[in-house]
Chain A
């Protein structure tokens, strides 16, 4: 017999509506899995009592035939989303103990549609990282291991808790956020599906800000269909976010089986990097073949400013972060460390409250925004951003429907393996994903194969603005064509 937690989100939803399982049973099964998997450190806070109360309310609504689209589905929430009455930390010491008096718009949308909250998921501190090793609450361990090895691997980051929890079946899906690749890279590392929608598709209100012009909310799930179901509930216009776009949210699930017949898929030559591992290149070629066999036309395209995206990102993102994180001053919320005067208090609070990577990025940001450097660094980076977007606009104007690339330059790596000597080594993880944030476009990562060591590898599809439907359709073709990923053995339970 299949365990309840082995169901996909779509299967669980259908079983709930048919009365084959109750929401409380589902929540209980999920809570038991979470308790057994604490060694993964995926959750910062577990909320089992809240989950059971919400599940009981869901059962009552199902009984009255008032079920919402996610009625009774237990989810994990990245601890960057403010949740009313439940500690929200951004995985930072500076916010430890912070209990919001309000709910983020995206999580409120999920509860409106009947979802059940299991707890708050670990992440890199303030979503700054690609391995979930910068969390004040300790690293998340991936459920995946290299064949024949017990060495702990990273789940990717910054949404490492979300990806690990979904891959280990601790929840049916999770919220995540993506500023430079923080949904897609951990999804690729853990064999899950993650979509960063178009900038403005999901409200940023109530999500702890990192880099406001790059941050977007999105789901991580086990299947393309599950991601489509979640995004439909998360998305939508919000007057409280001035960058939230007032356009209708399509029924993404309906797009899942649409196929790619007649689509034109672009293959950007600039993504073929020097020194790219042969297995990543082979995976990419395989993806091309699958889409071609399903009736898509493959077109070689050029996105000439690709190589500048990552360096430009490391100006824009720290600049916005240094501005956004100025609010953590020990006055209104969070940690306060006394100093000899008020500036001494600010400096001591921020030195003790922020971790190494966050302090480094705030300082880089302060530098590139400082008098004399603003034009040379910040304004120049924003101009390069325009050039990056124009590259994509030209491709789409030429009739390209979506673009296929690798999701990451490698499979997951070991804890402590990268970035200790040179921060840039870690930043290179985002080389394929960051262009999408710089241009504000939607991007999805979908599992497509395994590395020589038996670890998941993902492909990325990049779409036109607000055309997430095409991404779900094309990702489904890859999901169906790819060899079915054997879930990792439950060594943690």
Chain B
């Protein structure tokens, strides 16, 4: 499988990464080189094989459903590019 330039633009938008028109041809070549590299996987017989979901087989760990942390709004906001009154500030989302 290979990607065309429209697909490159669609993937970039899905990934929320701005690409300029000048970047598209090179990105297309690089993505296609990687897709060619993984192509041989299509020839592997995976009939009846379970996909790996847990690297080390073990039961899912659980803990009591209680609050263990909190009250640290200042620490959480300390690295925010823009904040006000314990809120993260973002560009207007709703008109």
Contacts and interface: CB of A to CB of B under 8 A. Distances in A.
Do A and B actually bind?
Answer: yes
Interface of A: 97-99, 101, 198-200, 213-214, 239, 242-243, 245, 305, 307-308, 311-312, 314-315, 322, 326, 329-336, 338-339, 341-348, 350-351, 354, 359-360, 362-367, 370, 373, 376-377, 379-387, 389, 422-424, 427, 440, 465
Contacts, number: 163
A383 B46 contact: yes
B14 A366 contact: yes
A366 B35 CA distance: 13
B83 to A, nearest CB: 9
B55 A243 contact: yes
Contacts of A376: 1, 42
A420 to B, nearest CB: 11
B81 A335 contact: yes
Kindly list the 9 A-B residue pairs having the minimum CB-CB distance in the complex, ordered from nearest. A382-B51, A336-B81, A333-B79, A440-B55, A347-B18, A351-B18, A101-B75, A383-B46, A366-B15
A380 B39 CA distance: 11
Contacts of A199: 55-56
A46 to B, nearest CB: 21
A373 B38 CA distance: 13
A394 to B, nearest CB: 14
Contacts of A389: 52
Contacts of B40: 307-308, 311
Contact of A346 (B16, B44, B76): B16
Contacts of A379: 51
A314 B56 contact: no
Interface residues of B, number: 51
A15 B18 CA distance: 56
B45 to A, nearest CB: 9
A350 B17 contact: yes
Contacts of B76: 101, 332
Given A348-B18, A383-B46, A363 B27 contact: yes
Contact of B49 (A242, A360, A386): A386
B80 A305 contact: no
Given A311-B38, A332-B79, A335-B81, A383 B17 contact: no
B41 A380 contact: yes
Given A243-B56, A350-B15, A314 B37 contact: yes
Nearest to A422: B33
Contacts of A367: 3, 7, 11, 14, 31
Nearest to A315: B38
29 contacts: A98-B79, A101-B76, A239-B61, A243-B56, A305-B44, A311-B37, A311-B39, A312-B41, A331-B81, A332-B88, A333-B81, A336-B82, A346-B16, A350-B18, A351-B17, A359-B15, A360-B31, A363-B8, A370-B11, A370-B14, A376-B42, A377-B38, A380-B44, A383-B46, A384-B46, A385-B51, A386-B52, A424-B33, A440-B55
B67 to A, nearest CB: 15
Contacts of B93: 342
Interface in B1-48: 1, 3, 7-8, 11-19, 27, 30-31, 33-35, 37-42, 44, 46
A375 B49 CA distance: 13
A465 B37 contact: no
B17 A363 contact: yes
Contacts of B41: 308, 311-312, 315, 380-381, 384
Given A239-B61, A331-B81, A440-B55, 20 more contacts: A242-B61, A243-B55, A245-B58, A312-B38, A314-B37, A332-B76, A333-B80, A333-B81, A342-B92, A344-B18, A348-B18, A360-B30, A363-B8, A363-B12, A367-B3, A379-B51, A382-B53, A383-B50, A383-B52, A423-B30
A363 B15 CA distance: 6
B78 A198 contact: no
B56 A198 contact: yes
A105 B1 CA distance: 42
A383 B49 contact: yes
A329 B91 CA distance: 12
A465 B14 CA distance: 37
Contact of A364 (B1, B34, B91): B34
Nearest to A200: B56
B15 to A, nearest CB: 4
- Residue of B34, B72, B81 most packed against chain A (CB within 10 A): B34
Nearest to B41: A311
Contacts of A362: 15, 17
Contact of B52 (A347, A354, A385, A427): A385
